[in-house]
Amino acid sequence: DSEIYGGSNVGNLGGVEAEEIPWNGRSWSIAVRLPPLGALILKPGSV
């Protein structure tokens, strides 16, 4: 969503890191910034 391509320049600057902040029954969580009209689909992986 880079501004040079006409976007709003909203994003996570290349990545996010999990933090030990409980959320939704899990002990770790992440906070992500999505651009307007953006979507994020997460798929659980094997641990």
What confidence tens digit (pLDDT) does each residue in 1-47 have?
A: 788 988 888 888 788 999 999 999 999 999 998 888 889 898 988 87
Instruction: Look at residue 18 in the predicted model and tell me its pLDDT.
Output: 94
Is residue 42, in this structure, part of any structural domain at all? no
Enumerate residues 6+ apart whose C-beta is below 8 A from 19. Answer: 28, 29, 30, 31
How far is the CA of 28 from the CAs of 7, 18, 23, 45, in angstroms? 31, 6, 7, 15
What is the pLDDT, as a whole number, of residue 28? 96
Q: For residue 31, what pLDDT is reported? A: 93
The whole domain housing 22 covers: 1-37
Residue 28, both tokens: 């770790």
Task: Write down the pLDDT at residue 3.
Answer: 87
pTM score, whole prediction: 0.61
Q: How far apart are CA 44 and CA 47, in angstroms?
A: 9
